[in-house]
Amino acid sequence: MAVLPILEVPHPVLSKVARSVQDNEFGESLNKILNDMTETMYIAPGVGLAAPQIGDSRRILVIDPGNNDDESERMLFHIVNPIIVEHSEDKISYEESCLSIPEYSLTMERFRRVKVKYKDGNGTEYEQWFEDFPAIVVQHEIDHLEGITLLEHSSRFVKNRYLKKQLKRRRKS
């Protein structure tokens, strides 16, 4: 496995809609990418990572909403071509952050429960409910596949201020 570089805004791939993984792409090479993404997510550390964040414009994500030092509590999912097929009417608010947007957080309102249809790296289909924090994580990562980051949920003023601050920080490094 390999730790991959995580792209930061305003990298253009982060604002593109990711393409579906085709049937002939499932198997060993896709599983390698999923495993590399998993290692990258754990090292970052994070609870989710979408393929566009590593420069791959395909509908691939990994999540572990139970990610902590205790491996027995991990809840790792390799998710390919996810589609939210059903959701609750009630919502939940949570202060989210993102590996591609350092030093930024935003309180978001998300569906409390989502039913996601997806495949794993071998092409096996699943349909699963995610609830509370896992639902927040999977919705956040699916946003990435649609080219949407937390900054797109912010006001134009906040987004521009953040981008200027990051540009200034990068010039100093």
Residues 6+ away with beta carbon under 8 Å from 118: 79, 80, 81, 82, 83, 125, 126, 127, 128
Please state, in angstroms and rounded to a whole number, the distance separating the CA atoms of residues 144 and 113: 19
State how far the Cα of 3 lies from the Cα of 5, in Å rounded to an integer.
7
What is the C-alpha separation between 138 and 26, in angstroms, rounded? Answer: 21
Q: In what order do the strands lie in the sheet with 113-119?
A: 48-50, 60-63, 77-87, 113-119, 125-131
Q: Is 34:56 a contact under the CB 8 Å cutoff?
A: no
121's enclosing H/E stretch is: none
Among 8, 39, 103, 141, the active-site one is 141
Query: Does residue 25 carry a catalytic annotation?
Result: no
d(C-alpha 96, C-alpha 109), whole Å: 10
Q: Which residues are catalytic?
A: 141
